[in-house]
Amino acid sequence: MSKKLIFFLMSLVFLAPLPIFALATQSGDVVYLGADEVINGNYYAAGNNIEIYGTVNGDLFLAGSSIKIDSDNINGDIFAAANSIKIKGKINGSLRLAGQYITLEESEISRNVSALGQFFYLEKEASVLGHLGFVGQSLSLSGIVQGKVEAALATFRLSGQVNDDIDLYLGESKEQGISLTDQAMVGGALYYQSFNQEEINQKADVVGGVHF
């Protein structure tokens, strides 16, 4: 992966559009948007713990220590930075995330995901309908990514499905850099750059082959 792509992913996470004014804002130690609440416009929140269960007909801009989103009615993009980010439900937009621990649980992301962090988990019941880009330490994909996966990282694990190419840039690590389970499926090719050639599981289904 090129340095230009790394800087591009970082800019997607941090350089969110600057609003002229906020249609809805909340701040405090605990920020809570209940399941019966509806925000018609962009939503801005800063706090130690942020929990979103309601409907947002716009983009979300969130900053805190812990962020939890559990809603099937997020009708815009999410820009979030926190130590821990957990997302569940249906997101009708893209994600731009920065955090130490990022988890997409039972969720459907209708567009792209760009993330900067230490650990990123796409769980078995989660799907990304666009592309996924990640810069960090570890990326684990148990769900489905319809588009391309591009990442600069130390370790990559796939037990789910990627329907396009995977392009990895691996840094130095004492662990196995790339781990594909027997159930892993790649609809395109697996490309990787590394200091050492990896031992790729031959039982994994990689349609376009592995390219070092």
Residue 7 has pLDDT above 70, yes or no: no
Residue 1 has pLDDT above 50, yes or no: no
- Tokens at 65, concatenated: 């220590």
pLDDT bin (cut points 50, 70, 90) of residue 23 is: low
Identify the pLDDT of residue 27. Answer: 72
For the segment 100-145, what is each residue's pLDDT rounded down to a tens digit? 999 999 999 999 999 999 999 999 999 999 999 999 999 999 999 9
Q: DSSP for 106-171, please give it.
A: EEEESS-EEEEEEEEEE-TT-EESS-EEEEEEEEEE-SEESS-EEEEESEEEESSEESS-EEEEE-
Distance, in Å, from the CA atom of 152 to the CA atom of 139, rounded to the nearest integer, reads 10
Identify the pLDDT of residue 176. Answer: 80
Distance, in Å, from the CA atom of 31 to the CA atom of 47, rounded to the nearest integer, reads 6
The chain-wide mean pLDDT, for the chain, equals 90
Average pLDDT of the segment spanning 72-81 = 98
For the segment 144-180, what is each residue's pLDDT rounded down to a tens digit? 999 999 999 999 999 999 999 999 999 876 678 999 9
- Which one-letter DSSP state was computed for residue 3? H
Reported pTM: 0.88
Tell me which of 26-35, 115-124, 177-186 is least confident: 26-35
Cβ-contact 94, 100 below 8 angstroms: no
Distance, in Å, from the CA atom of 22 to the CA atom of 8, rounded to the nearest integer, reads 26
Residue 209 has pLDDT above 80, yes or no: yes
